[in-house]
Amino acid sequence: MTTRIYETFKPRPAVKMPTLTETKTDEARYEQDATRVQIRGSSLFLAGRFLSLGSNFVTQVLIVRYLSTVDYGALAYVLATVAFLQLFGTLGLQEAVSRFVPIYREKREYEKLFGTIFLAAGAVVFTGTLIIALAQGPLSHVIAHENLTLHLLSVLIFLVPVEAADMLLDALFASFAGTRDIFFRKYVLGPGLKLGVAVLLIWRGSTVTFFAIGYLCVSALGVLTYGWLLVRLLRDQGMWQHLTFRTIKIPAREVLVFIVPGLSAVLATAAINSINMFLLGQMQTLSEVAYYRVAVPVSEMNGVVMASFTLLYTPTAARLFARGNYIGINKLYWQTAAWMSVVAFPIFVSTFSLARPVVMLLYGSRYEHSAFVLALLALGSYFNVTLGFNVQTLKVIGRLRYIIVTSLLAALANIALNLFLIPRYGAIGAAAGATVALIGYNLLLQLGLRQSSDFKAFDPSYCSIYLVTALSALGLLALQLTTSMGLAVALPLAGCVSLAVFLVSKKKLNVTATFPELHRLPFMRSLLTY
């Protein structure tokens, strides 16, 4: 009895509480790790995206050279229309999934996690069916007038729910860290199948209709494969055991409040080219649509780096926001923006400073007119990259109303500019309007970030990177215009300039801490210590 009493009341060892210094150290370590993981993980997607772009680019070149200008113009017009309608097919739910699913999983709120997934899937099925019905019915003659365009639209409109499901699956895989599956499906399987359709088109001597049907079939096959991979991933992570239909809660209010700013932002950025091609098709010839369309995928290569970093940025920033760590968000934001600016710079100088020789090499003299279009679109696209994830950050910190207002202003500005410019200047006018609208939109977004606590709308410590990239691109452009040098000389020169930009920026990028394994390579070790 005495022993029991003693054991009950004997002194316990003191529990050591973390000090303020230790807490700050842990928070700083978390900031550093979050930024490092974001950049490293995104680098894998970047490599895959370049592989995918190369395959898609070969596909585009093959069909542009095989099809007549009118046939390709009709195909481009329909694909642009489908891409625009696809924005409403997803309703921005893929962004809601990438934000809420990781949070609900971390909090072990599995009933809301599966509720979010079912809500997104149901919305995609409903909106996709509605868009198909409208596009093949009352809206068909509003969208298109010529027989070929109407025929292609009747086939490719089914891409709306297919591509929407694909985007939703991307967000789910990113939320559950299925990086290998994303790499295989998004960057290997899908582009490879589409390239196969283009090769069959030329080998069989078929028409543009054959390509449209094949494009739809391989896209659907890719989504089915993606779905099977997701089922397997959730099984491996033990997620299915948490699925109970009776306890599912659909967080409709939280999701709907989040997606409205996303939709408005898409209208101001991603939908610009689709809207402009639609306006070109209404006010100009199909040849002008073709001149614009061939420049779009080349200019969008400037956004490849940004797109690769997007999948992991929002979940990382959301976790920092949940901890109230605005300083960490600021560090993540500008370090990521600096990396994207430097990595995307070789693409920018190739599509901006060397636009004319690139267009002539890829598409021939028929599309020489597209060189000016490419240079303008590349400028707007790269400017968007250099300022980083301003929309995503504003959404994370809750400035949703500001995003809606600025996005609507940018969308209206783009339409107003192009209603004036397209009838007078055609494809070049459309490109100029798009670039002005995109630059203005990004500047407004930066002003919104300035009003946030502990966040710098522009970090002066990275000023040297932006100054070097701007001067280098303008210098190479001036050299190209005055000497008309060919790509055999221009591309190696652009490579040297890009290497110089990297060497000037390597300390600001903190390359050695982010990728310490590079020191194992003799050439990289000497380059990084230079």
Distance CA 79, CA 340 (A): 28
Which residue, chain included where needed, has tokens 């339409």?
415
Of the chain, the end-to-end C-alpha distance in Å amounts to 75
Picking from 203, 178, 176, the residue whose alpha carbon sits closest to that of residue 105 is: 176
Distance CA 519, CA 515 (A): 8
Q: Write the secondary structure of 208-263 as one string of H (helix), E (strand) and C (coil).
A: HHHHHHHHHHHHHHHHHHHHHHHHHHHHHCCCHHHCCHHHCCCCHHHHHHHHHHHH
Picking from 310, 332, 385, 339, the residue whose alpha carbon sits closest to that of residue 509 is: 339
What backbone phi and psi angles, to 5 degrees, belong to 92? Answer: 75, 15
Residue 302 resides in a domain: no
- Amino acid occupying residue 269: T
**374 within 8 A of 292, measured Cβ to Cβ:** no
Q: How many structural domains is the chain composed of?
A: 1
**285 within 8 A of 105, measured Cβ to Cβ:** no
Q: The whole model's pTM is what? A: 0.69
Among the residues of 144-207, which ranges form H helices? 147-156, 159-175, 179-184, 190-204
Q: What is the pLDDT of residue 28?
A: 56
DSSP, res 177:
T
List of residues 6+ apart from 148 with CB closer than 8 A: 70, 71, 74, 208
Residue 120 resides in a domain: yes
Residue 8 resides in a domain: no
Distance CA 463, CA 392 (A): 22
| Digit-coded pLDDT (tens) for 429-470 | 989 999 999 999 999 988 888 765 567 778 788 888 899 999
List of residues 6+ apart from 61 with CB closer than 8 A: 362, 363
Lookup: tokens for 401:
């109303």
Residue 191 resides in a domain: yes
Residue 527 resides in a domain: no
- Amino acid occupying residue 79: L
155: domain range? Answer: 30-250
| Burial classification of residue 524, based on how many CB atoms lie within 10 Å of its CB (0-12 exposed, 13-18 middle, 19 or more buried) | middle
Residue 400 resides in a domain: no
Which residue, chain included where needed, has tokens 């055609």?
426
DSSP, res 15:
P
Three-state secondary structure call for residue 181: helix
- Amino acid occupying residue 218: V
Q: What is the DSSP string of 54-100?
A: HHHHHHHHHHHHHS-HHHHHHHHHHHHHHHHHHHHHHTTHHHHHHHH
Residue 469 resides in a domain: no
Count of other CB atoms within 10 angstroms of residue 25: 12
Lookup: tokens for 504:
């000037």
Q: What is the pLDDT of residue 385?
A: 92
Distance CA 171, CA 429 (A): 35
**255 within 8 A of 98, measured Cβ to Cβ:** no
Which residues of the chain carry a pLDDT beneath 50?
Answer: 1-23
Q: What is the pLDDT of residue 19?
A: 46
- Amino acid occupying residue 159: L
Residue 92 resides in a domain: yes
Q: What angle do CA 133, 286, 88 make, to 5 degrees?
A: 30
Lookup: tokens for 503:
């060497």
Count of other CB atoms within 10 angstroms of residue 113: 26
